[in-house]
């Protein structure tokens, strides 16, 4: 039944966007839909969950370089090196007419030596698949009313591949769904980008440790904020903050922080590096390290 509700949400997003897709300018159909038209870096990069945004926080941006006259997309690979874990994320996303985004990401958390301490075996890797859909409702990141941000709603359905581990740590379910609303705006004259996202979730460590617990299995609102400064057309620096639910008694969960720099090597390739503080992960405290992400977009 949970899967059916997720399908209904996805169907609703498609229904809301159908009129936009069908009414796209007919002359544009004769154009090459692979040619992007967005300003450099205004499509954001790929988050660890596959959607367009920052490294840790989701934005209202739609994946790819294409404007409302085309179809674009991106692929990404992200590595986070921490004292006790190695985190990787790989994914693909497609943006339709700068209105609808569909995404997929595979997350992997290598427990290294912590796996032995937890009784899982050294190097045990937790895995999760994330399926996402995002719909732009109003506004524009760059253009239009300077006081009206681009606003989007989205859904991410997550499926852990480690049901036995989820049950062992006290997670209520290996599968779950997040819902969010994002607002993003680039103030061109100040070269500043600001984003705020409210996510309704019950995920433990984004879902790698399941969803909810025996005593608390409700969605809770969480905040994701980003602030970035454009040093040049190709180079952006900034920071992000993401609050997290704390459902598991034996595995405290902390809020996340990062300081990042993103550089557009070409119109199609962007590299992002960041210092990240992910706090406590599955009994291991002070998980601070480096994030490196490569995105190719068209």
CB atoms within 10 A of CB 121: 9
Domain chopping of the chain, boundaries: 2-297
Closest CA to 177 of 191, 205, 160, 158: 158
- pLDDT tens-digit profile of 166-213? 998 899 999 999 999 999 999 988 999 999 999 999 999 999 999 999
Place of tokens 């874990």: 85
- pLDDT tens-digit profile of 74-114? 999 999 999 999 999 999 999 999 999 999 999 999 998 88
Q: Is the pLDDT of residue 228 over 80?
A: yes
pLDDT score of 121: 81
Closest CA to 54 of 166, 175, 193: 193
pLDDT score of 214: 85
Length, in residues, of the chain: 298
DSSP one-letter string for 230-277: ESSSSEEEEEEEE------TTS----EEEEEEEEESSSSEEEEEEEEE
Place of tokens 């085309």: 70
Compute the average pLDDT of residues 276-285.
91
Residues 6 or more apart whose Cβ sits within 8 Å of residue 78: 46, 48, 55, 87, 88, 89, 90, 291, 292, 293, 294
Closest CA to 167 of 216, 211, 126: 211
- Given CATH 3.30.465.10, say whether it is the number of domain 2-297: no
pLDDT band at residue 68 under the 50/70/90 scheme: confident
pLDDT band at residue 30 under the 50/70/90 scheme: very low
Compute the average pLDDT of residues 61-71.
91
How much of the chain exceeds pLDDT 70, in percent?
Answer: 88
Compute the average pLDDT of residues 203-228.
93
Burial class (CB in 10 A: 0-12, 13-18, 19+), 191: middle
H/E element holding 194? strand 192-201
pLDDT score of 36: 61
Side-chain-facing half-sphere of 216: CA atoms under 13 Å: 11
Parallel, antiparallel or unpaired: strands 288-297 and 220-230: unpaired
Q: What is the 3-state secondary structure (H, E, C) of 201-220?
A: ECECHHHCCCEEECCCCCCE
pLDDT score of 2: 43
Q: Is the pLDDT of residue 9 over 50?
A: no
CA pair distance 116, 178, nearest whole angstrom: 31
pLDDT score of 6: 43
Compute the average pLDDT of residues 67-73.
90
DSSP 111: -
pLDDT band at residue 115 under the 50/70/90 scheme: confident
- Tell me the pLDDT of the chain averaged across its residues: 87
pLDDT score of 27: 39
Strand, coil or helix: 22: helix
pLDDT score of 24: 39
Strand, coil or helix: 171: strand
Parallel, antiparallel or unpaired: strands 86-96 and 100-110: antiparallel
- pLDDT tens-digit profile of 248-257? 987 789 999 9
Terminus-to-terminus CA distance in the chain, angstroms?
Answer: 37
Compute the average pLDDT of residues 270-280.
96
pLDDT band at residue 26 under the 50/70/90 scheme: very low
137 and 109 in contact (C-beta within 8 Å)?
no
pLDDT band at residue 3 under the 50/70/90 scheme: very low
């Amino acid at each position: 039944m949970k899967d059916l509700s997720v399908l209904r949400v996805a169907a609703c997003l498609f229904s809301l966007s159908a009129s936009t897709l069908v009414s796209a300018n007919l002359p544009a159909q004769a154009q090459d839909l692979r040619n992007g038209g967005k300003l450099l870096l205004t499509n954001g990069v790929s988050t660890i969950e596959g959607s367009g945004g920052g490294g840790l926080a989701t934005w209202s941006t739609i994946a790819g370089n294409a404007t409302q006259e085309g179809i674009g997309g991106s692929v990404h690979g992200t590595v986070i090196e921490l004292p006790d874990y190695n985190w990787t994320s790989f994914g693909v996303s497609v943006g339709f007419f700068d209105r609808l985004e569909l995404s997929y990401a595979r997350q992997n958390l290598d427990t290294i030596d912590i796996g032995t301490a937890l009784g899982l075996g050294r190097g045990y890797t937790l895995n999760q698949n994330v399926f996402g859909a995002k719909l732009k409702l109003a506004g524009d990141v760059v253009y239009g009313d300077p006081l009206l941000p681009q606003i989007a709603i989205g859904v991410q359905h997550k499926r852990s591949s480690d049901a036995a581990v989820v049950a062992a740590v006290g997670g209520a379910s290996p599968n779950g769904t997040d819902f969010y609303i994002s607002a993003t705006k680039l103030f061109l004259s100040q070269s500043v980008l600001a984003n705020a996202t409210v996510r309704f979730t019950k995920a433990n460590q984004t879902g790698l440790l399941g969803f909810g617990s025996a005593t608390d299995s409700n969605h809770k609102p969480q905040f994701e904020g980003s602030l970035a400064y454009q040093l040049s057309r190709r180079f952006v620096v900034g920071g992000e903050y993401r609050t997290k639910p704390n459902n598991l008694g034996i595995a405290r969960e902390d809020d996340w922080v990062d300081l990042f720099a993103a550089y557009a090597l070409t119109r199609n390739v962007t590299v992002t590096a960041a210092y990240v503080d992910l706090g406590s992960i599955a009994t291991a405290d002070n998980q601070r390290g480096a994030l490196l992400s490569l995105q190719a977009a068209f």
